[in-house]
Structure 1
Amino acid sequence: MGLGRTTLVAALSTTLVTGTVVTSAAQARVPAWPTVTSLLPSNMATKKTTTTEALESAMVRKIDRRIRHRHLGSKVSVTVQDLQSGRVLYTKKARRPFIPASTEKLATALAVLSGHDADDHFVTKVYRDSDRGRVITIAGGGDPTLTSGDLDTLAEQTADRLLADGTGGEKLKVRYDASYFAWPDPAPGWYSSYFSTYVTKPLALMRDRRMVSNGAWDAAAYFRDRLRAHGLKRVGAKVSSRTVPDTDEQISSFRGHTFGDALWRMLRYSDNSVAELLIRHVAKARGYETTTSGSASAVRDELKDLGIPMQGVEIADGSGLSRRNHLPTRTTSEIVRASMNPDDDDMSSIYRWASIPIAGRTGTLSSRFRAKATQCANGIVMAKTGTLSNVVALAGVATGLDGRYRSFSISVNDRPTGYSSDAARYRVDRIVTAITGCK
């Protein structure tokens, strides 16, 4: 990592202005980033057609009106800040704890990149025992993006090595080691069905994020089959767990995917399975237990160490599936700003690489901002979506028609059940168009 984290922590203040509307300069928790706009895609820039004073005055009036729409209900929180200076431009219930849904993944991303370089690789290793070299163990390194094709590549490398040294013709046993992380447990607030419907069990070894009872065994069994396909004809059928001892010899490895790759998928497509594995890496890096609770504590403490305002914050998981998660919108907006530290290439990589969905263009925002009243913001908003049955949220960066960039966080909890979530999302998008000043 560069000097970005040190710069961030050293520059923190302890003052945050609150209230329905903030029109005077306010010092934010995260320091000013004068060159932050260089991190955003060039096509997010807009032609300046209004003054900042006029845009912000109209923005306040429009948001005040739009947050009262019946499709949203009464539990709506909004925070808007100037991206570069941190000046708070608008707050509504900004300090109150709200369920963030998948905007929680922004907190996960910041915690991950605070302790890891974006180009750090996940490594899946293969060992053979030191006795007779007949026990082949595949050891997972917590790669959430590992695919069947990757395991085939690893099996080919392994088979070539064993055939070359003359042991490929012997009877071999395949074992797996998933001890890099603790056995997964459901997060507080999760329903029992989540592991088979919304998220893969976060094991240190798995393939294709398959929702099976034991992803490590599944990956090892596939690896066994590919060893046979690559010429090791005497590989035994049984696959079981084994912890690799220090005396084993590493004979091959696969290191094709990076933390940046995983974050891209997690943020662009709101991948819950990737998120739950990544928070375990945060725990591992901090020396915490890699259980769900230990990993959640690690994320919370990482954010606290970065100076993110933590009042009202509760972290239950990494994906945002749990309704026990709570993030005030002022916290989420500061997370957005902290993630754009121009002094830290790793921390800001999720924006430079456009991992965050772009309105009307990519990821979970590809079908939004296309209606007549919202299409003016198409392409000039980067934001993470969040949806649960009674929650709609959106947080990110919007380009204003005054040429300035603003971070924002919008969260709707307990939305009226008489209207669809699409209706609520549309009303949230209308709030965002007010932030851009385009409608």
Structure 2
Amino acid sequence: MQSKSWKSLLSASLAVILAATVGPISFANPDDSAVDTTNEPVACTANKAMAQKTLGKFHAYVINVDTGEVLVDVLGKELTPSASVIKTLTAVAALQKLPAEYRATTQVLATPSEPSTMVFKGGGDFTLSRLGPGESSVYSKPPRIRNLARQALAAFPANVPITKIILDDSFFSGERWNPDWPAKYRTLGYVSNISAIQADGDRIQPNRLISSYSFRRGKDPVLTVGKAFRDSLGERAANAELVVGTTPRDAYVIGQVQSQDMRQSWLGHMLTHSDNTGAEFIARHAAKAAGHEGSIAGANKVIKQSLRELGLRPKALVIRDASGLSNENRVHSKLLAELMVKVAKAENGLDALTQWMPIAGQTGTLRFRFQGKSAIARGNVIAKTGYIPGLYGLSGIINASDGSRLAFAVFARADSENGLSVTYTAQGAIDRVVTRFYTCGASLTQ
């Protein structure tokens, strides 16, 4: 009897314990207010990555493309040198101002008033090549000086000697060399003099198929082209005098060649490979198309004008060149990120930049970036790099791990007043920051 009572008591106790432990999980009411059905993302920060000492003075601005929410703002409105990140602004100016299928044209002319004279008239084509058969330029399918000479000889009177060649480089105006650039940038191969007559970006040895290929640029691109053209004309022009001047009024065209489509070929090369000479030429062409001078001032003016026309506010920006080599350029991360929102949304055809900007771990200046733990972001960061001594930058679009899209701009810069410096290691540090942005996605917070 006592045994049965004890067993009954034990069974009842177990039932109470099980009921309390298991609860109503299997039979829960789907409308029960105690059940959390929200889809709010869990907060995720990049604060630790942004605090790396190798970043020096750090600037960052991140926007959720689809919601417009500002996720990160670290000195986002404070001006900073731009380095090559400014090339995105140059590309925008070109897309806004250059006509579709715009090409640079180089011409040869004859003149009745000077029967023994040819005129070589530059049209601002730095891809024009003096290379011969079997030699290869860094630029895709460039027009060749030898083809121009062939056309000119076919149209020039056969019995008339060629005693003078006028080199007309008046298509551009103003200084060829930006006074903000250190002189060593030419010999280091960073950029050439910017002249309307130029070949192979004025590389001293432009044939990339041989070991002596050189990034180093020459001193006088106009004279270099003049000599190459004279050589291509052969014996008839062997002793022709090369004279820099303007085209006579009675001159008529006897030959011409054109560059590749500037909006497709030139812009792609400039952004993917960060071509400084290309950026300066493109900006001058955009300036002329907008009614400005093809000069340093005209190029700088058209960049700001194009940004205003997109609804951005570039008033505070200081634009001193189109390539980013000037240490006097001033931009801020906020405007660059806002521009990238427009690129991501394909406003005004700006999505073309996503075809040309480097892709992390795959193309251009980002091909060998995003190593180690940052490799998870490879293929998902499309951005323009930037470097000048004392500054590294990156701006573009992130296709984040959660499917969201982030527009961003970051800079790591030296700050001597506060004892902060940056070295090559800042690149890896920036990659780690951007990878954290990629990981967090829409849940990124500061």
Q: Aligned residue for 2:171?
A: 180
- Given the alignment of the two structures, is residue 355 of structure 1 paired with residue 361 of structure 2, yes or no? no
Q: Is the 8 A contact 2:61 2:409 kept in 1?
A: yes
CA offsets per residue over residues 309-328 of structure 1, 9 Å max, x none?
A: 22531101011111110110
Contact 1:186 1:292 survives alignment (8 Å): no
CA separation of 1:410/1:170 partners in 2, compared to 1, >3 Å: closer, same or farther? same
Distance 1:157 1:338, change over 3 A: farther
Instruction: Give yes or no for contact 1:101–1:393 (8 Å, CA) kept in 2.
Output: yes
Q: Give the AA of the match of 1:392.
A: Y
In structure 2, relative to structure 1, the CA distance for the partners of 1:111 and 1:136 (3 Å cut) is same
How far apart are 1:297 and its partner, in Å?
2.2
Once the two structures are aligned, what percentage of the paired residues are identical? Answer: 27
Code of the residue aligned with 1:110 in structure 2: it is V
1:174/1:235 contact within 8 Å kept: no
Matched, 1:54 2:58: no
Aligned amino acid, residue 64 of structure 1:
N
Q: How many angstroms apart in 1 are the aligned matches of 2:159 and 2:54? A: 65
State whether structure 2 residue 399 is matched by structure 1 residue 399. Answer: yes
Gaps of 5+ in 2: 1-37, 132-143, 203-216, 442-446
* TM-score, normalised via structure 1 length: 0.79
Partner residue in 1 for 2:199: 207
Alignment of structure 1 residues 34-49 onto 2, 5 Å: none
Partners of 1:82 and 1:326 lie apart in 2 by 24
- Structure 1 contact 188–316 (Cα < 8 Å) conserved: no
Find the counterpart in structure 2 of residue 133 from structure 1. 115
Residue of structure 1 equivalent to 2:319: 315
Letter in 2 for 1:171: I
Per the alignment, residue 340 of structure 2 pairs with 336
Q: Which amino acid aligns with 1:107?
A: L
Which residue identity does 1:393 align to in structure 2? G
Inter-partner Cα distance in structure 2 for 1:338 and 1:205: 35
Q: Which residue of 2 aligns with 1:389?
A: 389
Query: 5 Å matches for 1:30-429?
Result: 53-54=40-41, 57-58=43-44, 61=45, 63-73=46-56, 75-117=57-99, 119-149=101-131, 150-162=144-156, 166-167=157-158, 170-187=161-178, 189-197=180-188, 198-210=190-202, 211-228=217-234, 233-259=236-262, 260-340=264-344, 342=346, 344-345=348-349, 347-351=350-354, 354-369=355-370, 371-414=371-414, 421-429=423-431
Question: What secondary structure sits across from 1:296 in the alignment?
Answer: helix
Greater alpha carbon shift after TM alignment, 308-317 vs 167-176: 167-176
2:55 partner SS: coil
Structure 1 runs (4+) deviating above 6 angstroms are 415-420
TM-score, normalization by structure 2: 0.78
Distance in structure 2 (CA, Å) of the matches to 1:220 and 1:337: 45
State the aligned residue count.
374
Secondary structure at the aligned position of 1:148 is classed as coil
> 2 CA distance for matches of 1:318 and 1:239?
31
Please report how far the alpha carbon of residue 362 of structure 1 lies from its aligned counterpart in structure 2 after TM superposition.
0.9
C-alpha distance in 1 between matches for 2:176 and 2:129: 23
Secondary structure at the residue paired with 1:233?
Answer: helix
Deviation at 1:92, TM superposition (A): 1.2
Q: Distance in 1 between matches of 2:66 and 2:388?
A: 31
**Which residue is 1:6 aligned to?**
none
Larger gyration radius, structure 1 or structure 2: 2
Once residues 237 and 132 of structure 1 are traced to their aligned partners in structure 2, the CA distance between those partners, rounded to angstroms, is 13
Q: Mark the CA change 1:52 to 1:329 in structure 2 (over 3 Å): closer, same or farther.
A: farther
DSSP 3-state at the match of 1:268: helix
Instruction: Indicate the residue corresponding to 1:433 in structure 2.
Output: 435
CA separation in 2, counterparts of 1:398 and 1:194? 32
Q: Secondary structure in 1 aligned to 2:357?
A: coil
Cα distance in 1 for partners of 2:40, 2:119 equals 64
Q: For structure 1, list consecutive stretches of 5 or more residues without a partner in the other structure.
A: 1-50
Which sits farther off after the overlay, 298-307 or 139-148? 298-307
1:213 CA drift (Å)? 1.9
Q: CA RMSD in A?
A: 2.4
Answer yes or no: is the 8 Å Cα contact 1:95–1:311 preserved in 2: no
CA–CA separation in structure 1 for the residues paired with 2:58 and 2:295: 33
Q: Deviations over 1:313-366 (max 9, x none)?
A: 110101111111011001111222334563544x43232xx2111111111111
Shift of 1:172: 4.1
Preserved contact between residue 159 and residue 227 of structure 1 (Cα < 8 Å): yes
In the other structure, the counterpart of 2:19 is none
- C-alpha deviation, 1:271, in angstroms: 0.9
